[in-house]
Structure formats: structure tokens, C-alpha cells
Amino acid sequence: MATIAKPLARPRAQEHEDPRQYLMHDPLPRGQMNAMVMEAMHTTSPIFWAVTGVLVLIVLFALGYEWYILIMQGQGTAGVLRPDYWGVFLVNTVFWIGISHAGTFISAILRVLKIESRRPFTRAAELMTTFGLVQAGLSIFMHLGRVWLVYWMFPVPNERQIWPVFHSPLMWDLMAITTYLLCSTMYLILPLIPDLAMARDRTEGGWQKPFYRILAIGFRGTEGEWKNLTTAMNIFAFAIIPVMFSVHTIVSWDFAMASRPGWSSTVFGPYFVIGALHSGMAAVAIVLFMLRSTMKHYTYFIRAEHFNTMGMLMLLVSMAWAYFYFNDYLVPWYGGDVWDKLVQEYTEKGPLGYLWYTMLICNIAVPWAFLWNQKWRQTPWLLAIVGLLINVGMYLERFIIIPVGVTINRMPFTWRQYEPRIEVPMTIGTFALFLLLYMLASRLIPLIPVWEVQEGQEAHMIRKIGKAEVSTLSDLE
């Protein structure tokens, strides 16, 4: 008699997995979770203050003092020249806006798609958005020749009777980045209000009590207040997604609108958006690892399943990035425009060709090598290292597009390679400022949205279907 089914070559491991490994099925009393988050906020070690001190020094000297020199002596202290009018400052701007897209992706898109594992780290990601946009704004101011006149770019009535030019992609940038910064800050504040109310209720005295009382704006949690809050949050979740896509598309149009070979590529819009998601999600993985390692009790909130989710998303986005990059690569490679081909040859085989190879290895080879295995995806430190390499690769991608790609133009007499000068300490300063803002925020506001975690835990239950215990999610909204 023929067998009906062939036995499996390998027995399936983990027939009965413990559902309590998932945060949503491992509920604790809300009071206990609140206490854990508040304790994590208030527990600081001497190492924390030492690192903060070092960061403050770096920000003051590498960023503050050097920027003063840059403004007083002019852009000549930077490495820009003819034909490379744009340099590392623009690379930083694009990089930081890219990092900021992760926050919106996680708190908006994952919320809309009802992916429940996003619940504990939406705020950590949204903080990355806000602080990343701050660095992007600073970087764009750094590259202006006469930054004290930047207010001429703001469309407000003035005595000069002249308004800015909306034909310019830089103005679209201004509109889009302002919209995105304001909206993502508002989207950060909205779910923060109930947690500030919780902090207000759990703080007794000192300067913290009036601080949280003022910030909690009198929130109690009545039906009307929750309805207003959740309605506003839903509007934001849906509306900020197209804004997120449009912002990095508009940033890419800074380059696509230019009549430079290698820049005026029609695929830049979606290519940059995917690139932003790529670097952003890698940065979220790094931040989650650092939070889990340094904040007390966060091993309860941030678990292997969250790294697994991030790892799968990183793998997916790296494939999308590879698709778009191949699109952008194939067209000049095939021939046609001699200048496009020259740019590509210079990128690959020129003196900075090693950057191109590093970029491909970091952006494609590294995620494809490490993120297929579920066990590896659930290892926090491995995901953090992969995330770091991906961010290096994405920084190099922007560096290759801007200062390296701009070297080749239609006038060979002008070709000359860019060398970064004062941009180096100032870039380090922006990274230090980002970390510093994040560390200060971790002392002031609870980084885990506990009410959202409890809401999710209330909605999840284990149900027995047949012999299996199945996780069920009820739609409570």
C-alpha cells in the first residue's frame, strides 16, 4: 500500500512554541509595566553621564566651533570647488532624511497594516525621525554660502516685495521637509500624551512634577479625550505615509532636475525612497539593540520577535534597493549617452572605485548573507552590526551620487575630484548631536508607549483550535 505522505527529512523543530515569548502574549499588570518604564528612565549610571559629557564636548567643538569658522571664513574651508559645488553637507542632509523615514515607516505604515509587533518601539523610531530631521536641517544650513540670509527662502510677506521661486527643487525641499518635520513631531507628541500623563501620576516632586504636569496638558483618559486622540492619530497615520514618500522623492529631485549626467535619472524618485527606508530600518535595528542593552527592564519590551520583524523588513528592502540600483545601473551601462557612461566608469574604475565596491557589499551582500536565517535575525547584536554596515553602505551610496558623480560633467576641462575638509568634523558633530539628543530624551520621556503595549496585550489572546494553541488578535479599534 502506497504511503499517503512522505515523512519529512528533518523533523520540524519547536512543534509547540511557548506563546509567552511574544510580548503580546506575555502581559504584565499595567502598573508594573509603568514602574519598569519609569525606573528605566530614572536609572542612570556614571557611564551615561561620561558619554553625555563627551558628546557635549564633541558637539561644542566639532560642530559649534567649526561651523563658526565655516560661516566667518566662507565655504572655502569646506572641500567644495568647481565642478563639485555640492559636497558632504548635502550627503549628510540626504542621509539624515533617509534615517528619519524609518520612524514614519514603523509608526505609520506598520500601524496602518496592523502589524502588532511594532507596538513597543514606535516612539523610539519616531524620536529618530525628529532628531534625524534636525540634523538634516542643520546640514542643509551648513552648505549655504550666506546662511544668515536663509530666511529669504521662506514664503512670507516682506518689504522686499519678492518671494521665493517655486520652480526650484530647493523650495519644494523646504516645503516638504518643513511639512514632514512638523507632522512627524506632532505624530510623536500625540501618542506621547497619555504616557506623559502616566509620568505625571507617578512623579512626586522635584522639577519633574511640574514638568510632566505641564506637558501632560491635563489629559485624564476620558472617552472624549481618547476618541479625539485616536482619531487624530489615525488621520496622521494615513496622511503621513504619502508625505513620507513625497519628501524623499522631492529630495531626489534636487539631483534629478539638474542637467548633470548621472544625476538626471528618472528612477531617482523611488530609488531614493527605498534607499531611505533601507538606511532607516537599519538604524532602527541599531537603536533597538542599544536601547535593549542599556535601558533597565527593556529586555521585557524589546524581544527577539522585534528584531526578527526588523530583520525581515531589512532583507525585503535590501532586495527592493538592489532592484532600483540595478535599474539605475543598467541604463548607462548599456550605452547611449556618452557622458552617463563616463560617470559610471569613473565611479567604478576611478580612484574612488573602492567606495563603490564597499557600497555594494554593505547594501546587498551583507543583508543577503545574514538575514535569511531566522535564528540570526533574532540575535540583537548581529542585527545591529548588519544595520551598521548597511548604514555605512547607504552613506557611501549618497557620497558616490553627490561628490563623486558630480565630478564628471560635459566640460572635461573642469573635471576635478572633491576632498572633504571641514565637513569631516562637522559630520561627526551631527552624529554626536543626534546621539546626545536621543540620550537626553531617554531621560525625559518614557521611550516605550506603555498604553499601546497594554492595548495590544488586551487585544491578543490564545485560543485553542483543535489541538493547537493559536494566537488570536481581536480588532478592538
According to the binding rule CB under 8 A, does residue 182 interact with another protein? Answer: yes
296 contacts 289 by C-beta, under 8 angstroms: no
Residue span 61-80 as binding mask against another protein, x where in contact by CB under 8 A, dash where not: ------------xxxxx--x
Judged by beta carbon, residue 185 or residue 327, the one nearer another protein is 185
Is residue 85 a contact residue for another protein (CB under 8 A)? yes
Q: According to the binding rule CB under 8 A, does residue 222 interact with another protein?
A: yes
Please identify which residue in 50, 112, 239, 473 interacts with another protein, judged by CB under 8 A: 239
| Residues in 246-305 that interact with another protein by CB under 8 A | 246, 250, 254, 257-260
State the minimum distance, in angstroms, from the CB of residue 177 to another protein: 10
Query: Which three cell numbers, joined as nine digits, stand for 51?
Result: 558619554
Question: Dihedrals φ, ψ of 3, to 5°?
Answer: -70, 145
159 binds another protein (CB under 8 A): no
d(CA 6, CA 15) in angstroms, rounded, equals 18
Which residue in the set 65, 163, 211, 333 belongs to the binding site for another protein (CB under 8 A)?
Answer: 163
Q: How far is the CB of 181 from another protein (least distance, A)?
A: 10
> Residues for the chain: how many in total?
477
Residues 6+ apart with CB under 8 A from 225: 219
The widest CA-to-CA distance across the chain, in whole angstroms, is 95
Question: Closer CB to another protein, residue 17 or residue 419?
Answer: 419
Question: Cα separation of 141 and 147, whole Å?
Answer: 6
Residue carrying C-alpha cell 506575555: 26
Number of residues that bind another protein (CB under 8 A): 100
Binding mask 414-443 for another protein (x = CB under 8 A): x-x---------------------------
Q: How far is the CB of 69 from another protein (least distance, A)?
A: 12
Which residue among 19, 26, 213, 385 contacts another protein (CB under 8 A)?
213
Say if residues 397 and 59 touch (Cβ distance below 8 Å): no
Contact 229, 152 (CB under 8 A): no
Query: Looking at 283, 342, 406, 433, which residue binds another protein (CB under 8 A)?
Result: 406
16: which 3 cell numbers? 509547540
Residue given cell 524620536 in the structure block: 127
Q: Which is nearer to another protein, 267 or 360 (CB)?
A: 267
Grid cell for residue 338: 556618452
Q: In a 10 Å sphere around its CB, with 0-12 CB exposed, 13-18 middle and 19+ buried, how is residue 405 labelled?
A: buried
Helix (H) or strand (E) holding 468: strand 468-473
Q: Which is nearer to another protein, 215 or 388 (CB)?
A: 215
**By CB under 8 A, residue 476 contacts another protein:** yes
Residue 143, CA distances (Å) to 85, 87, 262, 334 in order:
10, 8, 22, 35
Instruction: Choose between 463 and 467: whose C-beta lies nearer to another protein.
Output: 463
Nearest distance from residue 218's CB to another protein, in Å? 4
| Identity at 79, one-letter amino acid code | G
- Please compute, for residue 114, the number of CA atoms within 13 A of its CA located in the half-sphere on the CB side: 7
Regarding 245 and contact with another protein (CB under 8 A), the answer is no
Out of 166, 354, 357, 372, which residue is the one contacting another protein (CB under 8 A)? 166
Question: Binding to another protein by residue 93, rule CB under 8 A?
Answer: no
Q: Which of 140, 98, 99, 391 is nearest to 271 (CA)?
A: 98
Retrieve residue 189's grid coordinates.
507628541
- Which element (helix H / strand E) includes 460? strand 460-465
User: Applying CB under 8 A, does 455 fall inside the site for another protein?
Assistant: yes
**Residue (231 or 293) nearer to another protein, CB:** 231
Task: For another protein, give the closer residue by CB, 100 or 378.
Answer: 100
Residue 172 in the binding site for another protein (CB under 8 A)? yes
Which CB atom, from 48 or from 350, has the smaller least distance to another protein?
350
Contacts to another protein from residues 184-203, by CB under 8 A: 186-187, 189-190, 194, 197-198, 200-202
Q: Is 180:244 a contact under the CB 8 Å cutoff?
A: yes
Looking at residue 365, the DSSP 8-state letter turns out to be I
Q: How far is the CB of 353 from another protein (least distance, A)?
A: 21
Residue type for position 419: E
- Taking CB under 8 A as the criterion, which residues in 95-154 touch another protein? 143-147, 149-150, 152-153
Q: Please report, as residue ranges, which positions from 341 to 380 form the binding site for another protein (by CB under 8 A).
A: none
Q: Which of residues 21-60 bind another protein (CB under 8 A)?
A: 29-31, 34
d(CA 55, CA 211): 25
